[in-house]
Structures are given as structure tokens and as C-alpha cells.
Amino acid sequence: MISKDQSIVTQVAAKIAAELIVKDTNTMSNIAEWLIAFDAVSEALNNAHGFNSDHGVEMLQQTFPNSTVEETVEAPKPTFVKAESPQPQSNAAIVVAGKQHGDLPNWLVTACKKAGVGRVWDNRDQAVGTKRPWFKQADAVEGQEPAAFWPPRGAN
């Protein structure tokens, strides 16, 4: 049994893991990415609070009894893009800074890759039905005008 404090830390780790992953239409891929993110975040938070770091693995095995949990997961090597580079890596995902309001549309991913944008603000909650852009670049270099993205005509 875990303490109330450990329960809160576990819930916070689950929430952070959900916010870290880039969601797509493949549910199993989303779950796998969440499990990896949850394991890393819960380990870091448990270590910071002095809790047993093996608890996350035990909880995952109890939650998903028919699955296997690998103790070691090789993290992907980070790729760095110079700030003045006009194009992100071809496999780079679009990251939403702040709150995300639903799934990201395919036209946005295409437009961001074309414009060399890796992070955007999601303004759909305030922009739909107005002249404001639905998405705005969040990783603009100082002195550079941030890119703005509106949906293509007929793609509401």
C-alpha cells in the first residue's frame, strides 16, 4: 500500500506524462509512449521525494497484468537544431506550448514542417470564428516575427 503523498506524486506523474507525449491516432502507440514517459517522470519525482523508485514498475504491472515491463528503456538520443536553421528535423513532432485544445490537425503539421516551426501556441479556444490565427509559433528566434497558422479554407 502506498501513502497519500506517494499517491499524489503518482497522480502528478501520470498527468505530466500525458502532457509530454505527442498524441496520434494509434492508441497503442499513445499508451506505449505514455508508459515510457510515466516511468521516467515517476522515477524522477519519487527520487526527489525519497520514495522507492521501484513502485512505478510494480504499479504498472498491477494495472496491466497481461503486459511485460522492461526495466531498462534506451532513451532516444536528442537531436539539436540550430536556432537559425530554417527546417526542423524531418521526423520532429510539433509540440504545443501551454494548453492544447484537441488533436492537432494534419494541415498544421504539414504547414509547420514547411515553415520550420517545432513549437506552437494553440489558440483555437479563442480564435475559432475570429480573424485570429488558430496556432502561433512559440519557438521564434528573438527579432523574428512568429509564424501564424490559420486552417485552410473549408477545413473547420
The structural domains of the chain, with segments of one domain joined by +, span 4-63, 78-156
Question: Has residue 145 got a pLDDT over 70?
Answer: yes
Q: Looking at residues 71-86, what average pLDDT do you find?
A: 53
30 or 78: whose pLDDT is higher?
Answer: 30
pTM for the model:
0.41
Q: Inform me whether the pLDDT recorded for 150 exceeds 60.
A: yes
Q: What band does 45 get if pLDDT is binned at 50, 70 and 90?
A: confident
Average pLDDT along the chain: 78
Distance, in Å, from the CA atom of 44 to the CA atom of 118, rounded to the nearest integer, reads 26
Q: How many CB atoms lie within 10 A of CB 109?
A: 13
C-beta of residue 88 within 8 angstroms of C-beta of residue 116: yes
The full DSSP string for 101-125 is -SPPPHHHHHHHHHHT--EEEE-HH
Please give the backbone phi and psi of residue 46, each rounded to the nearest 5 degrees, phi first. Answer: -65, -40
Q: What are phi and psi of 96, to 5 degrees?
A: -95, 125
